[in-house]
Amino acid sequence: MTLTLLLDLDDTLLDTNMDAFVPAYFQALSKHLSSRVSPQAMLPALMSGTQLMLASEDPSRTLQDIFEAGFYPKIGVPKEELGEAIDDFYDNVFPALSHVTKKREGARELVEWALAKDYRVAIATDPLFPRKATVHRVRWAGLDPEQFALISSFETFHFSKSHPAYFAEVLGRLGWPDGPVLMVGNDVERDLLPAQKLGLATYHIEDAPASSPGPEADRRGNLVDLRSWLESADLATLEPSYKSIDSILAVMASTLGILQSLISGLDRVDLSHEPAPNDWALIEVLCHLRDTEREIHRLQLDALSSEANPFVPRPDGAVWAKERKYLNEDGTAALNEFTTARLEMLNGLKSLDRNIWTRKARHAIFGPTSFMEVIGFMAEHDRMHVQQAWNIIKSL
């Protein structure tokens, strides 16, 4: 049974002390850019951009997009004029900040042991930094960035760690793997509770014994304790559940960002690639998701939200790929159209009273059901096709 192990970085694998590190980081960047940007403007702009990233719930824009839209107007300098200087900072100045951090006992040993067990291991750090900065911090922890299946950063992620959708995006970028998943981190508010809202098991990294043991009291300790616990744990108990309202909404929100990242850089030939005869190509997946959202999911949500015990239709969208000649369409346009339809769906769901999620319904295929179960089917549909898209890309 393959475990997917999601590891926080700062104060989990690396002793960072963010209260000391963040001011040192901001000051170093401000000094490096002082000939181009007023230091008086730099700090407020950095703080404002960071707050915008933390608050963003827009699955159609990366955190880098969010940050830059707020940062550059505040400093009054176009991005194009700073690109080279910022690259130089992360290449040559940022590495000197390693002295603010120190390696954490057991981090390298834990990662090497997990990889030897063939676990899928990802760095699930808050994606508020550029990839270059995060890669440096991984190395400061004594780890090789190439060891990990994924490292989250602001260039390709759309949610910070306070949102359950961040953890859905991590798993989607890994191809929505089957099997047990464990999120490991030190911060209850940013590592553990949002992951639990998605439906993941968690392990709390702490240096002192828990002062108030709760239902997860057995899942806490230092990195050495974590390895010992995993060696004796029944991994079947770490199977995730994506059945709650928070989980369903997080999965559906994450899908847009996941697909944007997965197809980034692919050309029309790649999007039309069929792994085997009669297999779908990526363009067919994207068109199917778009049309299902507009013609099936929209119809179902309207029925569910407008009447008591509605009949929920389920047209057969599986035949559309050939009937509608999806291979002749434009993949980027299809994703943009799916994005518009999905944002409308999410806004509609979030505007509803949560009591409606218990409303009974009758499904054309599954019979007696409920609002929550039908919307859950939509999230499962997303997960299935993201997994399909991930496998197609792996075959390229």
Q: What residue ranges do the domains of the chain occupy?
A: 4-14+102-238, 17-100, 245-394
Neighbours of 92 (CB within 10 A): 10
**Under a CB-based contact definition with an 8 Å cutoff, are residues 217 and 200 in contact?**
no
High-pLDDT (> 70) share of the chain, %: 97
Does the pLDDT of residue 210 top 70, yes or no?
no
Q: How far is CA 44 from CA 29, 120, 207, in A?
A: 13, 39, 34
Q: What is the pLDDT of residue 161?
A: 97
**CB-based contact 356:267 (threshold 8 Å):** no
Mean pLDDT in residue range 48-69: 97
Could you tell me which of 290, 285, 265 has the C-alpha nearest to residue 275? 285
User: How much is the pLDDT for 211?
Assistant: 42
Question: What pLDDT is recorded for position 143?
Answer: 98
CATH code at 4-14+102-238:
3.40.50.1000
Question: Given a cut of 50, is residue 214 above it in pLDDT?
Answer: no
Q: Per CATH, is 245-394 categorized as 3.30.420.40?
A: no
Residue 97: pLDDT band (50, 70, 90) is: very high
Strand 181-185 versus strand 201-205 pairing type: parallel
State pLDDT tens for residues 255-275: 999 999 999 999 999 999 999
Q: What is the pLDDT of residue 215?
A: 46
Quote the DSSP letter at residue 345: H
CB contact set of 181 (below 8 Å; sequence gap of 6+): 3, 4, 6, 171, 200, 201, 238, 239, 240
* Minimum mean pLDDT range among 125-139, 199-213, 244-258: 199-213
Look up residue 10 and give its DSSP letter.
B
Q: Which residues, at least 6 apart from 279, have a Cβ–Cβ distance to it below 8 Å?
A: 392
The mean per-residue pLDDT over the stretch 9-31 comes to 93
Whole-number pLDDT of residue 218: 65
Cα–Cα distance, 30 to 128 (Å, whole number): 17
Within a 13 Å sphere around the CA of 330, how many CA atoms are in the beta-carbon half? Answer: 4
Residue type, 166: Y
Outline where DSSP puts E strands in the chain: 4-7, 14-15, 102-103, 120-123, 150-151, 181-185, 201-205, 220-221, 311-312, 360-363, 367-370
Mean pLDDT of 134-148: 98
Mean pLDDT for 107-136 is 97
Measured from the Cβ of residue 54, the count of other Cβ atoms closer than 10 Å reads 17
pLDDT of residue 207: 73
Poorest-confidence range of 7-21, 250-264, 307-321, 357-371?
307-321
Question: Residue 209's pLDDT band (boundaries 50, 70, 90)?
Answer: very low
pLDDT tens digits, one per residue of 285-343: 999 999 999 999 999 999 999 888 999 988 888 899 999 999 999 999 999 999 999 99
